[in-house]
Amino acid sequence: MKNTFMEKKETVKRDWYVIDATDLPLGRVATKAAHILRGKHKVTYTPHIDCGDYVIITNASKVKLTGNKLDDKMYYNHSGYPGGLRERNAREMINNYPEEMVERAVRGMLPKGRLGRQMGKKLFVYADENHKHMAQKPESISL
C-alpha cells in the first residue's frame, strides 16, 4: 500500500516568479499570483504547509479594471474610532496606492489565518517595472 506524499516545511524548494501586470485585468493577475503563492502549481502541494513560491508583480499602476469598476468599486478602512471609516474608489487607489490595491486583491484570495499571512509575506508588488530582486533570478510568467 502506497502512502500519500506530504511536503515538509524544511524540504520546500522555493522559486521566484515575476508577473508583468501591464494591461492585464486585476483579477487575472491576482488569481495567478495567489495560485503560485499557495503552491498549487506544484506536484508536491500540501494544503496545511506553505509550499508556495515567491511572486513579484511589476507595473501595478498599469493594471486594468473592466466596466465601471474604476468609479463603482470601493475600498474601506476603519481606524477603530467612531467616525473613522475611510472609503476610496478604485480610481483613487490606482492613482495613489497601486501596490496596495493589487496586494489586497491577492491577499483576499489567500487562506485566512496564520498560514495565509505567512504566504502573503512572499508577495512583492511594485508600481513600475523596476524591482530589487534581480539577484534571485526570477522567472517571468506570461498570462
What is the per-residue pLDDT across 105-128, written as a single tens digit (0 to 9) for each?
A: 999 999 999 999 999 999 999 999
Task: Name the fold adopted by 16-90+121-141.
Answer: Ribosomal Protein L13p; Chain: A; (3.90.1180)
Residue 19: all three cell numbers together = 508577473
- Residue 3 pLDDT: 83
Residues of the chain with pLDDT under 50: none
Q: Are 17 and 139 in contact (CB under 8 A)?
A: yes
State the Cα–Cα distance between residues 3 and 102, nearest whole angstrom. 39
Residues 46/9, Cβ–Cβ less than 8 Å: no
Which cell numbers in the block locate residue 110? 489567500
What pTM does this model have? Answer: 0.93
Q: How high is the pLDDT of residue 5?
A: 85
Q: What is the pLDDT of residue 43?
A: 93
